[in-house]
Amino acid sequence: MTDQTNSGSCCGSCGTNASSDVQIHGSGVTTVYKVSGMTCGHCEGAVSKEISVLDGVTAVTAVAKTGEVTVTSAAPLDEEAVRAAVDEAGYELVGQAA
């Protein structure tokens, strides 16, 4: 059995802090959310992927270092839908950033 220690990333396998974007060009409403638990590029990608499939979302940028996820959508999103998407990715939506 191999002993694996977490090196500060969610899965211990990527070890990067690169920003991950899912962007579809467009305009609309931009909302910044705080998400806890993101530590690396893999985390950013997982959160971005889940949020990007919500109806009306045109762009998502997650930044693990700040814990912020910027979402652009055609119309304001239901926060519970965003919360469910973040939960599906394995993280916790704290709320909208101040």
Segments making up each domain of the chain, as ranges = 20-96
- Check if CATH label 3.30.70.100 holds for domain 20-96: yes
Q: Which of 90, 98, 95 is nearest to 49 (CA)?
A: 90
For residue 78, what pLDDT is reported? Answer: 97
Edge-to-edge order in the sheet of strand 68-73: 20-23, 57-63, 68-73, 29-36, 92-96
For residue 16, what pLDDT is reported? Answer: 41
For residue 70, what pLDDT is reported? Answer: 98
Residues of the chain where predicted confidence (pLDDT) is lower than 50: 1-9, 13, 15-25
In 3-state terms, what secondary structure has residue 65?
coil
Q: pLDDT of 50-67, one tens digit each?
A: 999 999 999 999 999 999
For residue 68, what pLDDT is reported? Answer: 98
Mean pLDDT of the chain: 82
Which residue pairs, CB below 8 angstroms and at least 24 apart, start in 76-79? 76/29, 76/31, 77/29, 77/31
For residue 10, what pLDDT is reported? Answer: 55
For residue 27, what pLDDT is reported? Answer: 65
For residue 8, what pLDDT is reported? Answer: 43
Q: Which of 88, 82, 75 is nearest to 34 (CA)?
A: 82
Give the span between the Cα atoms of 59 and 15, in whole angstroms: 25
